[in-house]
Each structure stands twice: as structure tokens, then as C-alpha cells.
Amino acid sequence: MAVLNFGSLNIDHVYHVDHVVRPGETLAGRGYRVFAGGKGANQSAALALAGAPVAHAGRVGRDGRWLVDGLSALGVDVAHVVVDEEEPTGHAVIQVEEESGENAIVLFPGCNQRIAPDQVRTCLSSLDIGDILLLQNEINGISEILSEAAGRGLRACLNPAPYGPEVADYPLDRVDLLIVNRTEAVGLCGDPAVAEEAEVGQLLAGVRSRVPEQTEILLTLGAGGAVLDGPAGRLCSPALSAGAAVDTTGAGDTFIGYFLAARLAGAGDETCLRRAAAAASLCVTRPGARDAIPRRDEVDCFLGGGTP
Ligand code: RIB
């Protein structure tokens, strides 16, 4: 069974700051580094580092070839990444707070938003019935890709991040596994009475009302762990800690890649959630997005009680 991840590739410009800049304020950054990122590329990297076979489809400008080479070096099949001769690669301006490791991100989509219908058709025709298509929300054409995938009998996994109002109009009935964090769950609930602090049961009920019964929902809650809700019931899993958070960028992507990789390897849901939590907890102890994703042996070592 193959996984094709159709998603963004970004160049991340990361500034370390005392606090996220306020309106009207000019703030001196304490440090600046450029990293490989993009939710799509991060998730492909996590799948590959977890040992899963994965192909990535997407679009970069000429300035982004190094992102593609980096993914390829990790073992990701990049044959479906197109180099756009006209538009630059997408980029993110990321502020990371020194003390908490929390971030704030401004995204410039660049050619992530120039996915053309013929690229979609070519990529999806390389898959077989039952193969997995993974999507986030940093490229254009999500509705069309989901519809095309359903027509081809693919299993779709959607992480609608970053959340925007357009997500409510996506054909979510075509999604087999929907992965959301609190913000995305609140957005999907579409009910002003459901706020970020809502109880998990309320959040899941709201999201469930948007998708069919057979769709699995994976709700990630950061330090609150994760909940998998599907036809087999509801399973809660705690977060793990591998040390102080330095940079939380890419932790969610790491969780998703490791969760799917464990599933593909045939692990039970509890194991999948535990491996994902372990990988995400290691990720936050390191700077950057893709560069912070741990290798499989580091996750094994952490779960075995050792220090990676
Ligand atoms: O999820 C983290 C990613 O979000 C960053 O790498 C950045 O590129 C943004 O897309």
C-alpha cells in the first residue's frame, strides 16, 4: 500500500523573540535561521523518518530545489514535485518565543497555490485502489483532489491546517481520517458557543456532525494528548515529555507522520498514538521543523526509557 502526500513545501524564516510582536511594535529578534518546512513536506519527512514508504507531490520555485533534495535524501519519492519557473517557493515567517517555544506564523503561499488539475490527475493516477492520499490545507484545489481521490477509490486523510473558512466547504464526506487540533476542531464546529476551551466531548460532537459515521477523527490536544474517535470507539492517549520545549514548530506534523507510519506498519491504535506522541515530544526539544523530526531509532530509544 502506498502513501502519496499532496502538500506544501516552504522555506521557514525563523526568528527567536522574547514575545510575539504586538501591533505597532518593532522588535529585535534574538536569532535568525532558515529551515526547511511546510506542513506537507514536514509530514512526508516524518513518514519517511518513521520508516514508511511515501511519495510527495507539490510545487516549488527555483529557489526551493534544496527542499526537494532534502526530502529525497530522507527517502521520500519526490518524482511528483514540480519546479515552477515563474513563482517563488512558499515561505513562512515564524516567531518563536524564547521561553515557551510557542510560535506565531505568517505564511506566503507562493507556488503551493499553483497546483494545476493536470498535476493532480497525473499524481493520483499513479495510485491503486486502497492507497492513501494525505492532504493538509496549504495548497489549492483540496476539494477537487478529494473528489478525484474518491472517484479512484483512494483512502483520504485530511489535516485541514491551517484552518480557514473554506474548509467548511470541502467535501468532508470523502475523508476517511480527519486529523484536527483544537483550533481546527473549533472552526469545523462552526458554533460560536464552542470555544477553544470547550470540552473534548463537545469538540468531537461538533466535528462528528460534519463527517459521516465511518470517518475516523483524530483530535490532537498538545499537552492534553490525543483522542481517536471512530467506528471502533473512542481511545484517549496522553502526551509524553522528552524535555523542555525549544520550538514547537512541526510537532503536529511529526505526530501525524508517525501516527500514519505506525498504522501502515500494522500497529494497533494505542501503539500508533504512543509512537506519535513520543516523536512529537522529541520534536519540540529541537529547533526548526523538518530538522527537528526524530528518526525511528530515536523514538524507539525514548520509548524504551533511554536518551536518544
Ligand atoms: O506546521 C509547521 C509548518 O507550518 C512550518 O514548517 C511552516 O512552513 C508552516 O507551514
101 in contact with ligand 1, CB cutoff 6 A: no
What's the 288 CA to ligand 1 centre distance in angstroms?
Answer: 9
For the CA of 91, the nearest atom of ligand 1: 8
104 in contact with ligand 1, CB cutoff 6 A: no
84 has catalytic annotation:
no
What's the 14 CA to ligand 1 centre distance in angstroms?
Answer: 11
Q: Does residue 308 have a pLDDT over 70?
A: no
41 in contact with ligand 1, CB cutoff 6 A: no
Sheet containing 103-108: order of strands = 31-37, 10-17, 90-97, 103-108
For the CA of 290, the nearest atom of ligand 1: 6
250 in contact with ligand 1, CB cutoff 6 A: yes
The predicted-structure confidence for 61-108, as pLDDT tens digits, reads as follows 999 999 999 999 999 999 999 999 999 999 999 999 988 888 999 999
The predicted-structure confidence for 163-212, as pLDDT tens digits, reads as follows 999 999 999 999 999 999 999 999 999 877 777 788 999 999 999 999 99
Per-residue H/E/C for 4-45: EEECCCEEEEEEEECCCCCCCCCCCCCEEEEEEECHHHHHHH
Residue 129: Cβ-neighbour burial (10 angstroms; 0-12, 13-18, 19+): exposed
Parallel/antiparallel/unpaired status of strands 90-97 and 103-108: antiparallel
Question: Which grid coordinates are listed for 221?
Answer: 490536544
Residue 169's CB is within 10 A of a number of other CB atoms, namely 9
pLDDT of residue 198: 87
pLDDT of residue 307: 64
Question: Which grid coordinates are listed for 80?
Answer: 511528483
Ligand 1 atom 8, closest CA? 38
Report CA dihedral (128, 132, 136, 137) to the nearest 10 degrees: 40
pTM: 0.96
The predicted-structure confidence for 258-302, as pLDDT tens digits, reads as follows 999 999 999 999 999 999 999 999 999 999 999 999 999 999 999
Residue 243's CB is within 10 A of a number of other CB atoms, namely 11
247 in contact with ligand 1, CB cutoff 6 A: no
